Amino acid sequence: MSTGNQFSNSLAAADIATGLHPYTNARLHETKGPLIMERGEGIYVYDISGKQYIESFAGLWSVAIGFSEPRLVEAATKQMQKLPFYHTFNHISHEPNIRLAEKLVEISPEQFTRVSFTNSGSEANDTVIKMVWYVNNARGKPEKKKFLARTKGYHGVTMASGSLTGLLNNHRDFDLPIIPVIHLTTPHLRTSGHDGETEAEFTARLLKEIEDTILAEGPETIAAFIGEPLMAAAGVLVPPAGYWQGVEALCRKYDIFLIADEVVNGFGRLGTMFGSTYFRFKPDIMVTSKQLTSSYMPLAAILFTEEIYDILADNTAKIGTWGHGYTTTGHPVATAVALENLKIIEERDLVGNAARVGKVFMENLQQLSSHCLVGDVRGVGLMAAVEMVPDKSSRKGFSQFGKAGGKAFASALQNNLIVRVLGDQLIFCPPLIITEEQALEVVARARTTLEEVADFVSCEGVT
């Protein structure tokens, strides 16, 4: 390995010499090196040279209240001074753990009465898999082990949750999936619809596929259906009308648990507190993380119904324990930060802000649709995607996949804008505190970026 002279005696050199970054080409990183961030404030972050960027992706879909919020710093500090750690095993608890569970039940849809904590969305979905299997075994249905998920869906990266994820690079050379999971058609008309197919016809086809799969596999073998209300890592894919109502009806018909993965959608991202509320369906289990603490601390929460709890609780009485948990389950500092974070979201009406500013943001992003490279602009609330294509009249993307996207990411950085690039899609998910003026500035910088990418595509002959 060579780090190159340009990185000698620097943080970058140390990073290259010792680290392994998530979702990164490690060999490319050795020559490219890291962009090192030093501090953040509001919707802005600053690198070690002092350059300011608009963080239009909220870190990783997650910094709801912005960077360096003093109240979260104070909440963490106070809890660190009072009780920096304690576990929740064996009938032991602490106030932040109790109060946060109580708060989540209060603000969530009425069917949810119980809460279990983990450290991340991936761990939460792993726990849900175990919970579903445990409950089905307890109710005398041990054959109900299979999960229904969607192609391009994202549910984490641990062995079991990574199996639920429907993205190729999350499976390749990891020997996944390792659990019984069936990945169904991605519920997005533009990317998965047939030529000439209406939205209603597309919805009907997807629901038929789900029911046909259930019948082919045997309803007695299907444990659960899991999905993000609005798919995030797939490219901000909005489901067709009637899709979630149809999925819920099929789950009820065939005794299948319905799981909403709200790790990205939850706590205001779509202009409603939860994505399942926005799309009007009632899951049995809901998984949350990210904006729960604005990612200031690692934390995830699983919400579930009293019916599920009763079956699970009876089985713990039979066995003698719920044989699952993490050292830091319900960590006192993380749960204290989450409580203060949720207070801020409520006090500042950030859910309403996401709806109001999101409307302005989407209206102005839609104006980019006339650009020669833009094939689609889509989103809900403060969650949006701009898809770049070589031919606006076709569903097909660039044959040189990711080349235009790579240029877009680099150009955006030059324009003091951080976006997430997925293939050749620009993804936006700014902090919920963003103002209309700031949202318009994001659009302006994105427009400049698209112009630079168009010049690059033309000059380089990217097709």
Question: Taking 90 as the threshold, does the pLDDT of residue 463 lie above it?
Answer: no
Read off the pLDDT of each residue in 327-340 and give the average, rounded to a whole number.
98
pLDDT digits (tens, 9 = 90+) for 334-375: 999 999 999 999 999 999 999 999 999 999 999 999 999 999
pLDDT digits (tens, 9 = 90+) for 178-192: 999 999 999 999 999
Burial 203-234 (b: 16+ CB within 10 A, else e): bbbbbeebbeebeeeeeeebbbbbbbbbbbbb
Read off the pLDDT of each residue in 129-135 and give the average, rounded to a whole number.
98
Paired tokens of 287: 């998984």
- Residue 8: predicted pLDDT: 53
pLDDT digits (tens, 9 = 90+) for 147-167: 999 999 999 999 999 999 999
| Max Cα distance, the chain (Å) | 70
Run of H or E residues at 336: helix 332-347
Read off the pLDDT of each residue in 324-335 and give the average, rounded to a whole number.
98
- Report the chain's C-alpha Rg in angstroms: 22
Read off the pLDDT of each residue in 126-146 and give the average, rounded to a whole number.
98
Secondary structure (3-state) at 33: coil
Question: Taking 90 as the threshold, does the pLDDT of residue 460 lie above it?
Answer: no
Q: Which residues contact 257 (CB under 8 A, 6 or more apart)?
A: 132, 223, 224, 225, 251, 284, 285, 308
- Residue 285: predicted pLDDT: 99
- Residue 400: predicted pLDDT: 93
Question: Taking 80 as the threshold, does the pLDDT of residue 328 lie above it?
Answer: yes
pLDDT digits (tens, 9 = 90+) for 267-294: 999 999 999 999 999 999 999 999 999 9
Question: Taking 80 as the threshold, does the pLDDT of residue 2 lie above it?
Answer: no
Question: Taking 60 as the threshold, does the pLDDT of residue 5 lie above it?
Answer: no
pLDDT digits (tens, 9 = 90+) for 184-242: 999 999 999 999 999 999 999 999 999 999 999 999 999 999 999 999 999 999 999 99
Question: Taking 60 as the threshold, does the pLDDT of residue 3 lie above it?
Answer: no
- Residue 151: predicted pLDDT: 98
* Structure confidence at residue 4 as a pLDDT band (50, 70, 90): very low
Residue ranges and CATH numbers for the domains of the chain are: 35-65+349-460 (3.90.1150.10), 71-347 (3.40.640.10)
> pLDDT over 70 for what percent of the chain?
98
